[in-house]
Structures are given as structure tokens and as C-alpha cells.
Amino acid sequence: MNPLGSLNDHGQAVWLDYIERALLTGGGLGRFIDEDGLSGVTSNPTIFDKALAGGSDYDQALGALIGNDPGAPTEAIYEALAVEDIRMAADILAPVHERTMGADGFVSLEVSPHLAADTDGTVDEARRLWRAVDRPNVMIKVPATPEGTPAIATLIGEGINVNATLMFSLSHYEAVAGAYIEGLGRAADPASLASVASFFVSRIDTAAGRALDDIGTEEAQALKGKIAIANAKMAYARFGEIFGGDSFASLKAKGAHVQRVLWASTGTKDPAFSDVLYVEELIGPDTVNTLPIATLDAFRDHGRPRRTIDQGLDEAGDDLAKLKGLGIDLDEITARLQIDGVAAFADSFDKLIAGLDSKRLALAS
């Protein structure tokens, strides 16, 4: 049996961390759904930058947009192209959304990363993107920054599905889960809403690994490749406490969905580790793993599907305690990772717009 499809048996959804026009028009996304049990798609400025600026798939659509409105800002042209992609992906995933009664089958579109420190600006853009896409199986991605978290509560309260992204720490997660529950409490129909909490994984091992290499002892080296998994397991344990507790009980009685934990950044960056490490060690109910194509292919080839997310919690706690004992502050690392993550997406967005500027000039000439 396909190991990817078997993840569903353990309560985990598989989403693709990639989108491009050819994948949508050429039947590729449909094949992933039919053959691998794929049930969602995520996007971000880095992904769109590669898709839009890296080839000719969008040239015809770009030319048409320029022809219709030669003076349109490049940002508006990008948004029109992105919204069209998101609509197509949502329509392809619509049968999954219907089959799961609104629990899955989502595609995500991100607000501008330049709004990460602007609560009102995030809310306004999220509302506009939600209306522009006009599909029930869309999630608007909002970063879990101090300014983004209250925006999440507002949007959920208004009936807008949210993918809360760029979480690295337990405190990030707890704030987002609280915002989701707060928003549901204000929503007219909490049962109609869906949300995921995107918790980033591999970047933590990269950052912690550098700190451990600086120490260089045998004890430090033994922790490499373990911190990200331990951190994620602690977040999932907190998920169970929050959504299995009194704070969610009344909303659950009204049919509200839990806010699933989504494992993001799950491609292995260190060649010393298994290429499916961040899939195999984080499998369990009410979770999503969003995979780049290379990791999806690798797990299909040699992944081992089994419930692991709530296994080894004592060991995970011990590993985090050992890290602290070595003088490495994980909270400081995760705070910096969120700041750097916002900056990286903003840089990708700027690069994307610059690439589109070059393309429109070339097409115009």
C-alpha cells in the first residue's frame, strides 16, 4: 500500500507545500489526490516566486492582464495570477472538502508578509483576499506574530478560515490556539469554520544545530536532530490539553472543528538525517503534514507510517532539558526564527514583484 495514503489511517492529512499553474492545468494535483491521498495545498511568496518568475507558464495570463490594464500595479497583477491559481486548486480539491464535510480539502493563500506587524492591515487584506477567491475551501494564511494573532481571532470571528503560520515555540502555539477559540466564540456558525496551526519544524534543528556545534561536546552532538521533534511533540501534547479541555467543550458541542496542528518546513535540510525524519516522527490524529514534492516522493518510496506523535514524550522533555542545561535558550532561538521567517517571506515577495516587473517589460517590448 502507498505509505502516503496510509497516513490517513493514523488521522494525518497530507498537503502539498507547492503550487504552480502547470500542476493545476496538467492534472498533476488531481493525480496526487487520487494516488497519494493528498487533501490540501499550501502556498507562500517563495513558492509563488519560483512558479511565476521561473518559467513561461504564466506569460499568456500575464500578457492578458497587462493588455486589459497596462497601468495596473505589479502587486495587483501578481494577486490576480495568484487568486486564479488558488481558485483552480480549490475547485480541484472541492470533492475532498465535500467528502470530509468541510474538515479538509483546503488551499491556502498568504497575506502580504509586509503586514506581519500590522493587525488592521492584515485583517483588511485577509478580508479582501477571502472575497476575491470566493471559495469555501480556502484558508487565508496569517503569521502568528504578536500583531497577527489578534487578527486571527478577528477573522475567525467573521467566518474566515485561517491558516496561522510561522509558529516555532509553545508560546506561539498557545497564543494561536487561544485566538482560534476566541474567534469561534464570536462566530455566527462555528461549525462552518476550519483552521490549522502551522508549526515549523526543520528550521529549529538547523538553528539549534549551529548552537550545538559551537559547544562541540559529545553531549551537545548527541542532541543534534532531536530538538525540532521534541519541540513539536510538546506542542501536540498541548494541543490535546487545549482541545480536549473545558475551554473548547462548549464549542465542540456546537459542532466546531479542532484547530489541527500542521507540521510545516518538513523537508530535511541536513543530509546526515533521514529524508523523511520530519514525517515519520510526527504522525498522529488531527495533524497535517505539508510536504515539498521531494519529501512527498521520498515518503511514498520508503516511508514507514505509524503513530509516533505521542510516543517518547518523556525523552522529548529530557532532550529539551538537556538543551537548556547546555545554556542554549530555545525561546530565544524560536523568537529569532519567527522574525527571520517573516523577513525571508518579505524578501521573496519583493523578489517576486521585481521578477514580474521584468517579465511585464519583456512582454510589453
Cβ neighbours of residue 323 under 8 Å, at least 6 residues apart? Answer: 208, 223, 227, 330
Reported as a single tens digit per residue, the pLDDT across 274-315 is: 999 999 999 999 999 999 999 999 999 999 999 999 999 999
Alpha helices in the chain (DSSP H): 3-6, 21-25, 28-36, 45-53, 59-68, 74-99, 119-133, 148-157, 170-186, 202-215, 218-221, 227-243, 246-253, 277-280, 293-302, 313-325, 330-364
Closest CA to 180 of 207, 142, 237: 142
Q: Cα 334 from chain centroid? A: 16
Q: Which residues pair with 138 in a beta bridge?
A: 107
pLDDT (0 to 100) of residue 54: 63
Give the span between the Cα atoms of 281 and 132, in whole angstroms.
38
In the chain the domains, ranked by start, together with CATH numbers, are 3-14+34-39+100-345 (3.20.20.70)
Positions of the chain with pLDDT under 50: none
pLDDT (0 to 100) of residue 62: 86
340 half-sphere exposure, CB direction, 13 A CA radius: 11
Residues with catalytic annotation?
A: 141
Say whether 71 sits in a helix, a strand or coil. coil
The alpha carbon torsion through 272, 276, 280, 283 (nearest 10 deg) reads 130
- The radius of gyration of the chain from alpha carbons, rounded to an integer in Å, stands at 20
| Cell numbers linked to 237 | 501534547
Question: Whole-model pTM?
Answer: 0.96
Q: Which residues pair with 162 in a beta bridge?
A: 140, 195
Cβ neighbours of residue 137 under 8 Å, at least 6 residues apart? Answer: 90, 93, 94, 96, 97, 102, 105, 106, 107, 161
Q: Give φ, ψ of 138 to 5 degrees.
A: -110, 145
Reported as a single tens digit per residue, the pLDDT across 319-348 is: 999 999 999 999 999 999 999 999 999 999
Cβ neighbours of residue 272 under 8 Å, at least 6 residues apart? Answer: 224, 225
Cβ neighbours of residue 189 under 8 Å, at least 6 residues apart? Answer: 159
Are the C-beta atoms of 49 and 55 separated by less than 8 Å? no
pLDDT (0 to 100) of residue 53: 64
